[in-house]
Structure 1
């Protein structure tokens, strides 16, 4: 037995070598940390519990391949259990082969079966040749009923991914399944890397051009970009702190804190002029608890902002139009982004707070070819189906389909409020009167001249604006109330508590 134990210890020690002295040297020279140092940085000290450490490739060569280039196991993150898949790019560039895929699949199965989050540390150069070539590729141990999502009827577990180097193939697939993807400025993510793209289609491209931060965030493949690997681990910890271990449990509350900005500042932050710009992030800062806002995909579809935050300690999802980007109008990408965020919050029990300042949906050739109709239908259906508390506040303007896409009355919000500055309607006044009264305006211009035309436009605009003000909407209960801007945080917090009562810890 002593000999056997000695043999076990030797094999275990060998499994910790990763790429060996030379492989680790090259890996560090690229500016990246070894996978085991990444895991130590992520999980609580002394909590790591590894499985599959003695795994070896199906195709054995003289080269040592510890763990078949992937480290899998469990640990505590801020005291909560997580499963971790860490690709070891110091070994054969972290390439994927049957045994490494089987290891990853087993870890995913554990996380889903036992209901705790999954953290994916991505850094790999795709599939390993010849291990996955020819018939072997078709026979890979990849079960799409479990690898990409939970089995039918099973709870959903949060998935968070860190893109820490060139991440292609399997690593990119992992990131595509994640509810939150943080990437380094120096990393990239794409279906296939430059070494495959050029011989396949003749396109010569760099890692950065193909899937660097600018490309990845614009495509919605990454939600946050950071400078260091420590920053990436902190971002993952922050993201998971808003979510429950799985979709059957309640999100964890934090200590209630005052907002970073005085809610009274809202009266000054949001200008009355519908064309005047301001930053919706400043509104978030007056409503959410201090230091609680985590942006989600700011680089993707910037006309709508999504963020995780807390209001009086309760985790919430914040959605607001961004007037300084396309006036806050919603294009196909914005609709897709908002739908994904609504799905995240509804899946894990986070109430939704909609802050309306939207001129409408983008129209025209580009929007139609981009799928605006399908994106709109998919979003409003998803909002309507959401079972978490939904509270909306119209700050300034809420026109047409954009209003509904921000949680307007047909999507069944629990409460819908407005500021005295709110304007509601089918479309903006300048567009509406020229559409509805086009012939009358043309006739007056032709028969009575520009002055009479301008007077008629002014008259029609005044009538339109009077009908768009919030008072009639409140009188007919299309709004639950008209509130002062300074009361927004208090009203939203109370409305959520009422809507959550008995179901979401209200």
Structure 2
């Protein structure tokens, strides 16, 4: 037995060698950390429990490929068990082969069955030849009923991916399944790498041009971009701290904190003029607990802000228009981002808070060709279906379909409030007057001149604006109340508590 144990120890030591001295040297020179160091940075000390370390490729050569270029196992993060898949790019560029795919699929299936979050450390150059060439590709051990999502009958578990290098093939697939994707600035993510793209269609691109931080963030392929791998792994830990281990459990509660900015400043932060710009992030600071806001997808549809945060220690999902970007109008990208974020929050039991300052949906040729109608229908339907508490506050303006897309009354919010500065309606006053009264204004211009026409515009706009004020909406119960700006945080927190009631505070899953 002693000889057998010694042989086991030798094989284990070989599995820890990764790409060997030369492979690790080249990997470090590229500015990347070895996969096992990444895992050590992510997890609590001495908590790593590895599975599949002795795996070897089906197609053997003289070259050692420990673990078939992937490391899988479990560890503790903030005292909670998580599953980790780490691609080892120090050997054969982390390429995928049948054994590595089987190894990853097994851990994914286990994580979903056991109800533990899954973290994916992406850094791979696609499929390995000849291991996946010809008939072998068709026979890859992929089960898309389990690999991409939780199988029927099991609650979803949170997935977080860190893109830590060029990530193509199955690493890109991992990122596409994740609820949160963070990328280092030197990383890239795409279906196929530059060499394949050039060979197939003749387009010559760098990694950064194909799937680097800017294109990946703008398309929503990544939700956050950071400078270092340590920051990326910290972001993964922060994201998971807002979510339960699975959708059947309540989201974790943290210690309550004071807001990052005094709520009394809210009345000064938001100007009264509907066209005046301001940064909605400052408003979020006065509503959420200090240092609790985690942006989600800032580079994607930037006229809308989405973020995980805490209010009185409890996780919430913040959805807010950003007036400094196209006045906060919602384009197809913003609507697609909102739908994905609402789905995330509703799945994992995180209440939604909508802060309205929206002039409407983006219109015109570009918006129509981008699928604005389809995106609008999808987001309002998803908001209406959400079962978590939904609380909305109209800060300044909420016009047309934009108001509904921000959780307006037809989407069945639990509570809908407005500040005294709010304006509501089908259109903004200046646009509405010139549209609805176009013929009347043309007649005034023709018969009485431009001065009379301008005076009539002013009178009609004043009348339109008076009807847009929130008082009649509150009188007819289209609003639950009109609140002072400084009371927003307390009103939202209390409304969420009431909306939860005595039912289980878990997410929606079917």
| Structure-1-length-normalised TM-score | 0.99
Tell me the residue number matched to 1:67: 67
Distance 1:376 1:75 in 2: 41
Distance 2:362 2:326 in 1: 9
Tell me the residue number matched to 2:98: 98
Q: Could you report, residue by residue, the CA deviation over 1:185-216 in whole angstroms, capped at 9, with x for unpaired residues?
A: 11111111111111111001000011110110
Tell me the residue number matched to 1:383: 383
Tell me the residue number matched to 1:422: 422
Distance 2:465 2:430 in 1: 10
Given that 1:69 and 1:92 are in contact with CA atoms closer than 8 Å, whether structure 2 keeps it comes out as yes
Distance 1:455 1:495 in 2: 44
Moved over 4 A (4+): none
Matches within 5 A, 1:411-490: 411-490=411-490
Distance 1:432 1:215 in 2: 37
Matches within 5 A, 1:144-183: 144-183=144-183
Q: Could you report, residue by residue, the CA deviation over 1:414-448 in whole angstroms, capped at 9, with x for unpaired residues?
A: 00000000000001111111111111110011001
Tell me the residue number matched to 1:28: 28
Report the CA distance between 1:40 and its aligned residue. 0.6
Given that 2:83 and 2:111 are in contact with CA atoms closer than 8 Å, whether structure 1 keeps it comes out as yes
Report the CA distance between 1:455 and its aligned residue. 1.2
Distance 1:247 1:157 in 2: 6
Report the CA distance between 1:501 and its aligned residue. 1.5
Given that 1:349 and 1:504 are in contact with CA atoms closer than 8 Å, whether structure 2 keeps it comes out as no
Tell me the residue number matched to 1:250: 250
Distance 2:471 2:462 in 1: 15
Distance 2:154 2:376 in 1: 29
Distance 2:482 2:63 in 1: 71
Q: Could you report, residue by residue, the CA deviation over 1:141-176 in whole angstroms, capped at 9, with x for unpaired residues?
A: 000000000111210000000000000011000000
Matches within 5 A, 1:347-362: 347-362=347-362
SS of equivalent residue, structure 1 residue 61: coil
Q: Could you report, residue by residue, the CA deviation over 1:29-76 in whole angstroms, capped at 9, with x for unpaired residues?
A: 000000000001111111100000000000011100000000000001
Report the CA distance between 1:451 and its aligned residue. 1.2
Report the CA distance between 1:505 and its aligned residue. 5.1
Distance 1:279 1:458 in 2: 29
Given that 1:44 and 1:77 are in contact with CA atoms closer than 8 Å, whether structure 2 keeps it comes out as yes
Matches within 5 A, 1:120-159: 120-159=120-159
The answer to whether residue 326 in structure 2 is matched with residue 326 in structure 1 is: yes
Q: Could you report, residue by residue, the CA deviation over 1:369-402 in whole angstroms, capped at 9, with x for unpaired residues?
A: 1000000000000000000000000000000000
Tell me the residue number matched to 1:11: 11
Given that 2:249 and 2:505 are in contact with CA atoms closer than 8 Å, whether structure 1 keeps it comes out as no
Distance 1:503 1:99 in 2: 44
Structure 1 unaligned spans of 5+: none
The answer to whether residue 296 in structure 2 is matched with residue 296 in structure 1 is: yes
Q: Could you report, residue by residue, the CA deviation over 1:474-496 in whole angstroms, capped at 9, with x for unpaired residues?
A: 00000000000000001000100
Distance 1:319 1:325 in 2: 15
Distance 1:2 1:314 in 2: 54
SS of equivalent residue, structure 1 residue 272: coil
Matches within 5 A, 1:109-124: 109-124=109-124
Given that 1:68 and 1:100 are in contact with CA atoms closer than 8 Å, whether structure 2 keeps it comes out as yes
Distance 2:495 2:358 in 1: 22
| Structure-2-length-normalised TM-score | 0.99
Given that 1:168 and 1:192 are in contact with CA atoms closer than 8 Å, whether structure 2 keeps it comes out as yes
SS of equivalent residue, structure 2 residue 432: helix
The answer to whether residue 398 in structure 2 is matched with residue 392 in structure 1 is: no
Tell me the residue number matched to 2:502: 502
Matches within 5 A, 1:190-229: 190-229=190-229
Q: Could you report, residue by residue, the CA deviation over 1:258-295 in whole angstroms, capped at 9, with x for unpaired residues?
A: 00100011111000000000001000000000010000
Structural RMSD (CA) = 0.8
Aligned residues: 506
Distance 1:403 1:7 in 2: 68
Tell me the residue number matched to 2:409: 409
Tell me the residue number matched to 1:58: 58
Report the CA distance between 1:503 and its aligned residue. 2.1
Distance 1:226 1:91 in 2: 25
SS of equivalent residue, structure 1 residue 395: strand
The answer to whether residue 267 in structure 2 is matched with residue 267 in structure 1 is: yes
Determine which structure has greater relative contact order: mean sequence separation of CA pairs < 8 Å that are 6+ residues apart, divided by chain length. 2
